[in-house]
Structures are given as C-alpha cells and as structure tokens.
Chain A
Amino acid sequence: MGDDKKTEQELIVSRQVLSIPQRFSTGPVMGRFLRELRDNKRIMANRCPQCGRHQLPPREVCALCRVEATEWDELGPEGTVRDFDVVFYASPDPLSGETRKTPYVACWADLDGTQGDAPLWHLLDAPDPSKVRPGLRIRAVFADQRKGSMEDIKHFEIIDEPSRREHGDRTGPSEPRP
C-alpha cells in the first residue's frame, strides 16, 4: 500500500454516540433499596431469616437457602476496602456516554454491619490511587440530586484514619462468613 495516491486520500471516520432510552422496573425489593438511597441516603440490605446473611444489593430470595429475605437492615455508610482496581483504560460510562477520567479507582466495599459475604461495588474517590490498600476505611458520598439509581451513591471517599490503614490487611468484616 505504498501508493502515494492512497496515502493522500481523505479517509472518512464517523464518530457518534447512540443514545438508547431505557426504563428499568425495580420491583418491590430493589425498589426499596433504591428508594432508601434516594429519599433517606441509607444503604439497605435485606437479610435471610434462615442463615442471617445480608444480600447487597438485595434480592427477593436468599440465594443459598431459597427462602424469602424479608428483614431489612441499614449498612454502612462507612466500610472497608476489600479489593480494588485502578483503571487506566478510558472506558465510556455506559449511563452517560462520557469517557471517565483516568486513572480511576473502583472497589469492593465491605460495609459496617454486614453479616456474611456481601460487598458493594462502587467508585472510590482516591486522590492518589497508589495509596489505596485493602483494609482502607471508606465512607459513601451521596449525590445531591438523587433519582433512585446506583448513581445516588456518587462514590466512596477515604476516611482519614491512619491507625486502621494497614498494608496488606485483607480481612473483611469482623463477623464470620457462612
């Protein structure tokens, strides 16, 4: 393809953002979770009456015991980083189409009060991603304008509590897991 004519040719690239409207029917259980985020800035999980573990985000039936999980508890809003990713790939946010600023940090958060194994995934606002470690204490930051979606939690922020910031501490919540 060393032909000069070809290399001088104008090449057409079309860049577009398709915007697809979508409606999500929450149902009563996810709906309660989202409503509590929106109206009360509370992170609610439901608890299995049989094994006592939390489900976060909630689901109607305990995935292990297969009984309806009808009890509700507020978790967090503080918690601990269980695991995290530092993301350098400028992926578009599927909900807005806007390219996320990189690097950004996403983490699995073990919220205080969680029974069992139910970390919540969310963005972590970390000014210095190289300082993020499992065991870091964090707190949910809620959006000012909330509409009943996961984005009602804007992100988690790091609580400045050096005594608890232990390198390599991978322990999750203090309660035993099933």
Chain B
Amino acid sequence: MSEHEQDAFVVEGKMALPYQYFAGATGSKFITTLRDEKKILGVRCDKCSKTFVPPRQTCERCFSNLTDSWVKVEPVGEVTGFTVIRYGEPYQPKAPPYVLALIKLDGADTPIAHVLDCGDVTNAEVGMRVRAVFSEERKDNLLEIAHFEPAKP
C-alpha cells in the first residue's frame, strides 16, 4: 500500500442532535386523550365548517381561536395518499419497508399522517378503509396510535 493510500481513510462517526419538542396545550390534550381515553380528538371551526385532525389552535382560514372547539372523530377513515418507506433510520417507528399514509378520519376534513400496516406494502391503496390500533405501551406521543390497519367491512 502506498503512503498516499494509507493516508486516505474513512473516519466513522456520528452526529447527535438533542432536541426538545413541546406539544403545546392543544397538542398535549390531543395526545393525553389518545393515551388515557383511546379517543381521537379534532377541533372544529364552525365558521368555515371544517374539522382539523390533528387539532390546531387557530383556524388556518379565518384565524378563529379553536382552543375550546373540541370534537371527537371516528377511529376509522380513508387513505387519501401514501408512500412506501424503504430505508431504515434508528429514529423511525418501524423497520422498512412500511407504508406511511395520509388518513382522513370519519368526521375530519384534514388527513393525519401515520403508519399503515396492511401486510405487504403493495396492498396499500388510495380509498382504502382503515382503523386505528392503539398502543398498549405508554408512548406520550402520536404513537399512542400504534398504527392503522385495514378496517374489516
């Protein structure tokens, strides 16, 4: 091995990014209700006739304060879009390949992104009816819903 070849080498390293995410009053209530009551909440803007899931503090259209406009939505809904994750990262919720879907729950007007477990990833379809499966472990985050699965008709 020449000296130059010996001198060019690869250093394996890692970069750690510590971070804190504060869910806020609205996001916290959404998560604690998932955890403690196994219920999915949204907020409704009556002025715009729009129900937001996940909930938000203000209406995206008319900026009305929605902090006390809670409504319950169904744990079943429809896939409005999806992608297949084929690479693995340590912080991902599942080993690849898996489906990350946009799911519009019954009673909601906006979709929520979540993991869809439909067996083989090629089974995923837009328009599919799916149901939330709640986590048995305490997670304190959106993974209080472990994943969605095809709803039995």
Contact = CB atoms under 8 A, between A and B. Distances in A.
A18 B19 contact: yes
A158 B27 CA distance: 51
Contacts of A6: 25
B21 interface: yes
B123 interface: no
What DSSP secondary structure best describes chain A's contact surface? mixed
A16 interface: yes
B87 interface: no
Contact of A14 (B6, B12, B32, B141): B141
Contacts of B20: 13-15
B11 A24 contact: yes
B106 interface: no
Given A26-B8, A31-B8, A9 B15 contact: no
A128 to B, nearest CB: 29
Nearest to A150: B11
B135 to A, nearest CB: 15
A22 B10 CA distance: 10
B28 A20 contact: no
Nearest to B16: A97
Interface string B4-30: 101111111111111111111101110
A144 B33 CA distance: 51
B16 A92 contact: yes
Contacts of B21: 13-16
Interface residues of A, number: 37
Contacts of A15: 18-21
B43 to A, nearest CB: 15
B63 interface: no
Contact of B9 (A21, A26, A94): A26
B7 A31 contact: yes
A40 to B, nearest CB: 13
B60 interface: no
B15 A20 contact: yes
A11 B26 CA distance: 9
B3 to A, nearest CB: 8
Given A12-B31, A13-B23, A15-B20, A95 B14 contact: yes
- Looking at B7, B91, B140, the one whose CB has the most chain A CB atoms below 10 A away is B7
A95 B13 contact: yes
14 contacts: A11-B24, A12-B22, A12-B23, A15-B21, A19-B90, A20-B15, A22-B14, A23-B10, A23-B11, A25-B10, A93-B16, A95-B13, A96-B16, A97-B18
Interface of A: 6, 9-29, 31-32, 34-35, 92-99, 147-149
The 7 closest A-B pairs by CB, nearest first: A97-B16, A31-B7, A12-B23, A32-B7, A12-B28, A18-B17, A24-B11
Given A9-B29, A13-B22, A23-B10, 12 more contacts: A11-B28, A12-B22, A12-B27, A12-B32, A14-B141, A26-B11, A27-B8, A28-B4, A31-B7, A31-B9, A94-B17, A96-B16
